[in-house]
Amino acid sequence: MDYIIHGDDPCVLPDGTDAYAVAKKAGRFKQIKRTEGISSTDIVGRMLLCVRERSVSDSHNHSSLQRQFSHGHSQKFEDGGSGSRSGTRVSHFLPTSRRIVQFSNRKGPGPNAHIVYIDGAFDLFHAGHVEILRVARELGDFLLVGTHNDQTISAKRGTHRPIMNLHERSLSVLACRYVDEVIIGAPWEVSKDMITTFNISLVVHGTVAESSDFQKEKDNPYDVPISMGIFKVLESPLDITTTTIIKRIVANHKAYQKRNAKKVASEKRYYDNKTYVTSD
């Protein structure tokens, strides 16, 4: 190992010391610019807040969790009966065209490329997503992925979803090595015009998903590619979904609340004292 790489945000051990002090002293540490707003502390906090809000009466008419973060509303949740309060920051993620390009492989499809299309929420991007994208990519020369907008996901999955907003989810997908291009805010229904515009050869969907009842819906979003004979259901390699991840956090919510109380304070210091770091 030649170098240890970390973002320009601090990484502090429980005792308050620098986690990379030894590497820095040895000249083996490199600092790079972090992707603002993409923080595990924030994301865990959003899931904990989601759990908290679900326990509140519907009569309060709370807006969706995603909308709160996207629009800059600050929320707090009570810490497991201790009487103390710990909040989560709103997302600081500010997408720019250059940042999106940095995540892209900058390759377009060839003139005779077999283009495979798969869509979804891709919320809390996880190993299950990676594996189904790998399988999809093996079926063609170019993998096009559609990420649905936040409003569509909220309507289909409930007001507390998605946990991550559209641009956060899109960059997570775009960073995957198997993905060639992402449609940011893809339509729910795959239309003939869309198939023609992107020259899609095959539309696929995994067997493991938040909802696999799409073929039972009155308006199947894949009606057009099915009628064209270019739709295929793929066997998902892993039995894991976004809900699976959320359930893990919920099952250990007290431990995560304690963890986040410390991490939130650390991230606040970072944002209060951060300086400009160039990105190569």
- Summarised one tens digit per residue, pLDDT across range 10-60 is 677 766 678 888 999 999 998 877 666 566 667 777 777 765 555 443 434
Question: Per-residue DSSP letters for 102-154?
Answer: HHS---PPPTT--EEEEEE--TT--HHHHHHHHHHHTTSSEEEEEEE-HHHHH
DSSP states of the chain: ---EEEESS--B-TTS-BTTHHHHHTT-EEEE---TT--HHHHHHHHHHHHHHHTS-GGG-PPPHHHHHHTT--EEEE-TTTS-EEEEPPP-----HHHHHHHS---PPPTT--EEEEEE--TT--HHHHHHHHHHHTTSSEEEEEEE-HHHHHHHH-TT--SS-HHHHHHHHHTSTT--EEEEEE-SS--HHHHHHTTEEEEEEESSSS---GGGSSS-TTHHHHHTT-EEEEPPSS---HHHHHHHHHHTHHHHHHHHHHHHHHHHHHHHH-------
Q: What is the pLDDT of residue 82?
A: 34
Residues 75-94: tens digit of each pLDDT: 443 343 333 333 444 455 66
* Mean pLDDT, rounded, of the chain: 79
CB 184, CB 150: distance < 8 Å: no
Residues of each domain in the chain carrying CATH 3.40.50.620: 97-234
Pairing, β 200-206 against β 231-234: parallel
- Superfamily per CATH, domain 97-234: HUPs (3.40.50.620)
CA nearest 265: which of 5, 74, 16? 16
Q: What's the rounded mean pLDDT across residues 211-222?
A: 74
With cut-offs at 50, 70 and 90, classify the pLDDT of residue 7: confident
Going from the C-alpha of 201 to that of each of 120, 145, 185, 196, the distances in angstroms are: 18, 13, 20, 9
Higher pLDDT, 254 or 152: 152
| pLDDT tens-digit readout, 100-150 | 787 788 888 988 999 999 999 999 999 999 999 999 999 999 999 999 999
Which residue's entry shows tokens 């807006």?
Answer: 63
